[in-house]
């Protein structure tokens, strides 16, 4: 079982909201970790969006719109990236990441389609 | 402005070696840890290696442990990745990065032919 699991794809309509999940493997408590989120478009390196550990420990990337926000669902042991007011330019791959046991771990990524 | 510029990628035969470089600017390179991350064609991101600011501590992903070596030269603001015993599955774009601060280079492509 992968350390971080993301749905492979997600589709949503312009103007709607999209909730991208990053589920931590059983035994790894989401409450312990800061989760980082990245957006990547074809041919470009990942762009840092935000990090979220708690409401008192979160950072927004420089220039990242406030319609991108992070949270956690403790019952699902998952981190969440919420994108509100979807725009066509939000169509991209999204990755989550944590620092675990002296290594960075990435989720497999979610391809978000805005249609 | 923070810049990370990778170089050294190219085509190499399986079993061969390659050394990647990354030159940093726009921040005090010697004060920070830094990493190598790769992305195979059409695949996700894979962290490879981490080195502390002084270079005394290094961590590696299991997939490259024993084959790849991360190093740095703070006097030259440079990070390196020595890659030995290359395999077809090492074909990827290699990024130097400080992911927690959002600093990524543009990447350099390594192609390993079998």
Express each pLDDT in A5-40 by its tens digit. Answer: 999 999 999 999 999 999 999 999 999 999 999 999
The mean per-residue pLDDT over the stretch B18-47 comes to 97
> pLDDT by residue (tens digit) across A42-92?
999 999 999 999 999 999 999 999 999 999 999 999 999 999 999 999 999
* Of B1, B85, B8, B70, residue with least CA distance to B35: B70
Tell me which of A37, A45, A47, A108 to substitute to probe the interface with B (most B C-beta atoms closer than 10 Å).
A45
Q: What is the pLDDT of residue B101?
A: 87
Partner A contacted by B52 (CB < 8 A): no
The mean per-residue pLDDT over the stretch B74-86 comes to 98
Q: Which residues pair with A51 in a beta bridge?
A: A36, A59
Which tokens is B101 given? Answer: 């601060």
DSSP B15: T
Nearest to A104 among B35, B105, B107 (CB): B35
The mean per-residue pLDDT over the stretch B13-19 comes to 98
Q: What is the pLDDT of residue B35?
A: 98
What is the SS3 assignment for A61?
coil
Residue B71 has pLDDT above 90, yes or no: yes
Do A62 and A39 meet the contact criterion of CB atoms below 8 Å apart? no
């Amino acid at each position: 079982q992968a350390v971080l699991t993301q749905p492979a794809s997600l589709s949503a309509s312009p103007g709607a909201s999209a909730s991208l999940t990053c589920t931590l493997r059983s035994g790894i408590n989401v409450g312990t970790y800061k989760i980082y989120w990245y957006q990547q478009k074809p041919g470009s390196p990942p762009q840092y969006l935000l990090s979220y550990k708690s409401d008192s420990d979160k950072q927004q990337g420089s220039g990242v719109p406030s319609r991108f926000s992070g949270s956690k669902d403790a019952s699902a042991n998952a981190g969440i990236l919420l994108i509100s007011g979807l725009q066509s330019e939000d169509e991209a791959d999204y990755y989550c990441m944590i620092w675990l046991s002296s290594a960075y771990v990435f989720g497999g990524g979610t391809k978000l389609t805005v249609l | 402005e923070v810049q990370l510029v990778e170089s050294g990628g190219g085509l190499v035969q399986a079993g061969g070696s390659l050394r990647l470089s990354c030159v940093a600017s726009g921040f005090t390179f010697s004060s920070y840890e830094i990493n190598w991350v790769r992305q195979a064609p059409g695949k996700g991101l894979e962290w490879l290696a981490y080195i502390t600011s002084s270079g005394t501590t290094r961590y590696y992903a299991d997939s490259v442990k024993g084959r790849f070596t991360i190093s740095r030269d703070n006097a030259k603001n440079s990070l390196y990745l020595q890659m030995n015993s290359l395999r077809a599955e090492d074909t990827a774009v290699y990024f130097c990065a400080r992911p927690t601060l959002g600093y990524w280079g543009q990447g350099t492509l390594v192609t390993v032919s079998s």
